[in-house]
Amino acid sequence: MNLLMCPVCHEALQLTGKTWHCVNNHSYDVAKQGYVNLHVVQHKHSKNPGDTPESVQARRAFLSGGFYAPLQHAVVEKIRELRVENLLDIGCGEGYYTNAMQAEVLQCVGVDIAKNAVQVAAKLNKNMTWVVGTGATLPVLDASIDLCTSLFSPIPKQEILRVLKPHAYLMVVTPATEHLYAMREALFEEVNPHEPYKFVAQLEDAFELVEERVVDAPFTLQQADLKHLIAMTPYAYKAKPERRQALEQKDQFELKAQFQIYLFKKKA
């Protein structure tokens, strides 16, 4: 079953050869890397939205070191328990988590606004559907999805409600209170704990909170990995340059990642 929707007229898309097309003759070619761009020009607010190529490469390098593997394993374990047929990963980035999720479902769609991130993802896994698209108009059909996931990504609530089947699931992963606290202390004069519970408040009218879990991942970073971690976060440009440079000069740095996982169920 096809899940994709034309971003212009909202009709179903069909794949013929290397081209997705709808009944109104809007067509979208599959790029040579294996993704389709459904982020149409009328929805764009900048020429190259989303993560920069530098932050995508930094994230790919950091995540390949396995530092966030405890989170990846926890997410995959939960998806396996849910036994869903299809999944939409919103803000899939370069595909580190999406790639692992795909093995647990029949159909997996990864969508991200950053074309350079989706290009990297599509090269690594040809067994799923990679899409450049926006959360403002998720490129999938109404009531077609069993599970939406959003890991460190926006949560376009109304669009998620549109695409989820009745009683389907939404998994949100966000920084827990102590996430990268030591790094933030080194980069900023004032550090406030993350407030993950705000997402529960935002979603409680339309979703029931089914489960919550905190995953800790302590690690010691060598200098190269520390630089990659800084570069893949918003802290890279929010911190004062002299504070960032001082941190990047450390040979080793002890740190703890802490992730909050929420599983919601769409209310009737």
What is the per-residue DSSP string for the chain? ---BB-TTT-PBPEEETTEEE-TT--EEEBPTTSEEE---GGG-SSSS-SS-HHHHHHHHHHHTTTTTHHHHHHHHHHHHHHT-SEEEEET-TTSHHHHHHGGGSSEEEEEES-HHHHHHHHHH--SSEEEE-BTTB-SB-TT-EEEEEEESS---HHHHHHHEEEEEEEEEEEE-TTTTHHHHHHH-SS-----TTHHHHHHTTTEEEEEEEEEEEEEEEEHHHHHHHHHHSTHHHHS-HHHHHHHHT-SEEEEEEEEEEEEEEE--
108 labelled as ligand-binding?
no
For residue 171, is pLDDT > 80?
Answer: yes
Average pLDDT (88-96) is 97
For residue 113, is pLDDT > 80?
Answer: yes
What is the pLDDT at residue 50?
64
Q: What percent of the chain has pLDDT over 70?
A: 96
For residue 185, is pLDDT > 60?
Answer: yes
For residue 148, is pLDDT > 90?
Answer: yes
Average pLDDT (165-189) is 97
Domain boundaries, the chain: 35-178+191-218+256-266
pTM value surpassing 0.75: yes
State pLDDT tens for residues 212-266. 999 999 999 999 999 999 999 988 889 999 999 999 999 999 999 999 999 999 9
10 labelled as ligand-binding?
no
Average pLDDT (122-140) is 94
Average pLDDT, the chain: 94
Whether 213 contacts 207, CB under 8 Å: no
State pLDDT tens for residues 12-58. 999 999 999 999 999 999 999 999 999 986 554 555 556 788 889 99
| CATH number, span 35-178+191-218+256-266 | 3.40.50.150
What is the pLDDT at residue 150?
98
179 labelled as ligand-binding?
yes
9 labelled as ligand-binding?
yes
148 labelled as ligand-binding?
no
What is the pLDDT at residue 236?
84
22 labelled as ligand-binding?
yes
What is the pLDDT at residue 194?
93
68 labelled as ligand-binding?
yes
